[in-house]
Amino acid sequence: MPLLEKDEALAMSDQKLSVNEYLKTDSNYLRGTIEEGLDTSLTGSFSEGDQQLIKFHGFYQQDDRDLRNERKEQKLEPLYSFMLRARVAGGVCTPKQWLGVDKIATNLTSSNSIRLTTRQTFQYHGIPKRNLKTLIQDLDKEALDSIAACGDVNRNVMCNPNPVESRLHQQAFYWAKKLSDNYLPRTKAYAEIWLGDDKVAVSEGDEVEPVYGKTYLPRKFKMAVAVPPDNDVDVYTNDLGFVAVAEAGELIGFNMVAGGGMGSTHGEVATFPRLGDDFGFIQAQDCLKFAEAVLKVQRDWGNRSDRKQSRLKYTIVKHGFEAFKAEVEKRAGIKFEPKRDVVIGDRGDRYGWIKGVDDQWHLTLFIEGGRIKDLPGQPLQTGLREIALVHKGDFRMTSNQNIIIAGVAEADKAQIEAIARSHGLMGKLISETRGHSIACVALPTCALAMAEAERYFPDFLTKVEALQEKHGFLDQGIVIRMTGCPNGCARPFAAEIGLVGKAPGRYNLYLGASFEGTRLNKLYRENIQEAEILSELDALFARYVSERETDETFGNFTVRVGVVKAVLDAARDFHG
Ligand code: SRM
Ligand code: SF4
């Protein structure tokens, strides 16, 4: 169906469309009344409708939840501020850009920090409304933006940041960047509102958004490019994933994966996390044709009435894998070839120095919880700034919320290392488990958090490490992840140990995912507190060390001995 017809049909016929669909249709391609909202100083907030639209421009309205009650008692409106998420395909930026990013954090945010995310980019928290325009303009000066970092569109495209095999990485990165650029919204709303570009009059019939149309996608959409054996991008948790297939070190194509996602709602069995299905092999040059076909099928088939059922994973479950695949092949005009054999390995980052094939050195720094801030005795933000002032290569953010100082010449290595050490960025022993851990932001900024994650997780991990030491396997990494709610921003349902917030201090404990991210976990204990979680893990670790098979991972062990059942089909098994 041509786009305009589709939009009109959507806007006029179906009374059950979700509110967001009307908002998008009426927004004049994402403009809404954002400009008017920016001009009013009576409130730190935007109107309800614009609060949804600003997401397409890369930011969320938030309030400090630690201060909510106090403000209420004082009869003040919540302390509104904004979180901005940048769009940085594959997580790569230059030292000059980093210096700009750092300066903005210091000058224009109250959090005075940079937060690396689980999708290889960075966020700012605590931006007052009055600073938004300046902040976006300052980002623009560094050739950075936040267009479509959030909203019902294709978001930041992840790509394995491994600079070691530089040629293969470059080829994979080329496609990640293409995927990111090709599916950016085409509306000029961002440039007009934030950068002061001349206003463009849109007439009925103008094809402003050739891929998305007026109503964009039914829901957020996420893509990732993995370079095996690394699966740091957790490719199966994405709506659409491309697993690089190489021959003699050259990229020849991808195994395409689609229908992954983590979000769910406690107690609602119609919602579930899911790992993507393998669709088959595609030639590298056909990557965009397939991506566009998938996007368009989701655009046209996705649920626009119930936002809890609107991700691609539900579209595939509803229509069935075969029907979905046939439609994608029809629209792409190409058939999938049989999936090629590739080995999916580790999801962690390789900390410390490593030498690449091009004789350049790369330094991966562990950033706990992704939070870059000057802490007592650990001036992390200053340290990275000092590195950026002398570094000649690039910075790469990882999907484990870490950062790689990539492309360091032998002669510059000692200087970079000295800065990293003197600023607490290096030198601390990181256990394998901590090195494989991630936690979402949660409190105090996330409006949806039910429990702590980023602020609590480091101490909790220390207790898990103590248990591993007690049972004599601290040298082994377990993929452990924590989120403050079941939306799954740290991909907890793909963790060997997943902790998902239920209420303050209470978590659901999930077990049984594979180490590599190829099998989901399953609920083991519900709504428990720290002491109970640790006592459960203590007992499980004791069994693990005495009953495990050679090289058996913790996740596989919990499934083999029947602690939890394997989740093979998420729709059927996750709650079953
Ligand atoms: Fe997320 C919503 C933070 C990765 C699934 N996510 C949010 C919001 C914006 C809360 C909100 O809607 O008000 C959080 C802002 C918190 C804050 O104060 O910063 C938030 N998500 C994050 C980040 C920053 C977590 C982190 O600690 O790094 C990650 C930013 C990624 C990025 O750079 O783009 C982040 N979110 C994810 C991931 C992981 C991934 O994509 O690999 C997921 C699971 C995968 C998926 O999408 O299914 C994820 N976030 C969600 C969902 C559930 C979506 C669903 O299908 O149900 C929500 C809620 C929603 O969309 O309604 C959400
Ligand atoms: Fe917020 Fe929940 Fe995402 Fe954590 S998982 S950042 S609590 S939405």
Helices within 395-437 (DSSP H only): 413-422, 432-435
Q: What is the pLDDT of residue 79?
A: 86
Does 155 participate in catalysis according to the annotation?
Answer: yes
pLDDT exceeds cutoff 80 at 13: no
Burial bucket for residue 562 (CB in 10 Å: 0-12, 13-18, 19+): exposed
Q: Which residue has the tokens 């669909």?
A: 21
Q: What are the boundaries of each domain within the chain? A: 1-33+154-347, 352-430, 433-573
Q: How far is the CA of 485 from the centre of ligand 2 (A)?
A: 5
Which pLDDT tens digit goes with each residue over 70-121?
888 888 888 899 999 999 999 999 999 999 999 999 999 999 999 999 999 9
Equal CATH topology for 1-33+154-347 and 433-573: yes
Q: What is the pLDDT of residue 167?
A: 87
CATH number belonging to domain 352-430:
3.90.480.10
Lowest mean pLDDT among 4-8, 39-43, 343-347: 4-8
Does 519 participate in catalysis according to the annotation?
Answer: no
User: Using CA atoms, how far apart are residues 14 and 77, in angstroms rounded to an integer?
Assistant: 37
Percentage, residues of the chain above pLDDT 90: 89
Burial bucket for residue 80 (CB in 10 Å: 0-12, 13-18, 19+): middle
Lowest mean pLDDT among 200-204, 357-361, 518-522: 200-204
Lowest mean pLDDT among 199-208, 292-301, 356-365: 199-208
Which pLDDT tens digit goes with each residue over 160-190?
998 777 789 999 999 999 999 999 999 999 9
Closest by Cα among 261, 254, 294 to 275:
261
Ligand nearest to the backbone CA of 121: 1
SS3 264: coil
pTM of the model as a whole: 0.96
Confidence of residue 8 (pLDDT cuts 50, 70, 90): very low
Does 440 participate in catalysis according to the annotation?
Answer: yes
Closest by Cα among 267, 104, 70, 245 to 171:
245
Q: What is the mean pLDDT of the chain?
A: 95
pLDDT exceeds cutoff 50 at 9: no
Contact 271, 265 (CB under 8 A): yes
User: Using CA atoms, how far apart are residues 500 and 481, in angstroms rounded to an integer?
Assistant: 8
Domain 1-33+154-347, CATH class in plain words? alpha beta
Does 167 participate in catalysis according to the annotation?
Answer: no
Q: Which residue has the tokens 């980052």?
A: 349
Contact 298, 312 (CB under 8 A): yes
Decide whether any atom of ligand 1 lies within 6 Å of the 153 Cβ: no
Decide whether any atom of ligand 1 lies within 6 Å of the 105 Cβ: no
Atom of ligand 2 nearest to the CA of 488: 5
Does 287 participate in catalysis according to the annotation?
Answer: no
Q: What is the pLDDT of residue 67?
A: 86
User: Using CA atoms, how far apart are residues 354 and 206, in angstroms rounded to an integer?
Assistant: 51
Question: Is 150 marked as a binding-site residue?
Answer: no
Q: How far is the CA of 542 from the centre of ligand 1 (A)?
A: 34
Average pLDDT rounded to a whole number, residues 38-54: 93
Does 93 participate in catalysis according to the annotation?
Answer: no
Atom of ligand 2 nearest to the CA of 451: 7
Q: What is the pLDDT of residue 142?
A: 98
Contact 347, 231 (CB under 8 A): yes
Burial bucket for residue 333 (CB in 10 Å: 0-12, 13-18, 19+): exposed
Q: What is the pLDDT of residue 5?
A: 43
Closest by Cα among 302, 221, 215, 180 to 30:
215
Does 65 participate in catalysis according to the annotation?
Answer: no
Q: What is the pLDDT of residue 12?
A: 43
pLDDT exceeds cutoff 80 at 208: yes
Closest by Cα among 443, 356, 515, 533 to 66:
443
Q: What is the pLDDT of residue 15?
A: 54
Q: Which residues contact 4 (CB under 8 A, 6 or more apart)?
A: 205, 207, 213, 214
Amino acid occupying residue 316: I
Average pLDDT rounded to a whole number, residues 395-415: 97
Which pLDDT tens digit goes with each residue over 469-489?
999 999 999 999 999 999 999
SS3 111: coil
Cα 175 to chain center, whole Å? 18
What's the token pair of residue 146? Answer: 């936040």
pLDDT exceeds cutoff 70 at 192: yes
pLDDT exceeds cutoff 60 at 123: yes
Q: How far is the CA of 489 from the centre of ligand 1 (A)?
A: 4
- As for ligand 2, residues whose beta carbon falls within 6 Å of it are 440-442, 446, 448-449, 453, 483-485, 487-489
Decide whether any atom of ligand 1 lies within 6 Å of the 87 Cβ: no
Does 502 participate in catalysis according to the annotation?
Answer: no
Q: What is the pLDDT of residue 561?
A: 98
pLDDT exceeds cutoff 90 at 61: yes
Q: How far is the CA of 490 from the centre of ligand 1 (A)?
A: 8
Average pLDDT rounded to a whole number, residues 125-146: 97
Question: Is 159 marked as a binding-site residue?
Answer: no
Q: How far is the CA of 487 from the centre of ligand 1 (A)?
A: 7
Q: Which residues contact 170 (CB under 8 A, 6 or more apart)?
A: none
Q: What is the pLDDT of residue 162?
A: 82
Confidence of residue 444 (pLDDT cuts 50, 70, 90): very high
If one residue of 119, 298, 443, 487 were mutated to test the ligand 1 pocket, choosing by the most ligand atoms within 8 A of its CB, it would be 487
Check 115, 219, 220, 347 and give the catalytic one. 220
SS3 355: strand
Tell me phi and psi for residue 310, to 5 degrees. Answer: -105, -5
Q: Which residues contact 560 (CB under 8 A, 6 or more apart)?
A: 549, 552
Higher pLDDT, 40 or 305: 305
Lowest mean pLDDT among 8-22, 374-388, 407-421, 479-493: 8-22
pLDDT exceeds cutoff 80 at 455: yes
Q: What CATH fold (topology level) applies to the domain 433-573?
A: Sulfite Reductase Hemoprotein; domain 1 (3.30.413)
| DSSP secondary structure of 430-467 | --HHHHT-EE---TTT-TT-SS--TTTHHHHHHHHHHH
If one residue of 150, 308, 441 were mutated to test the ligand 2 pocket, choosing by the most ligand atoms within 8 A of its CB, it would be 441
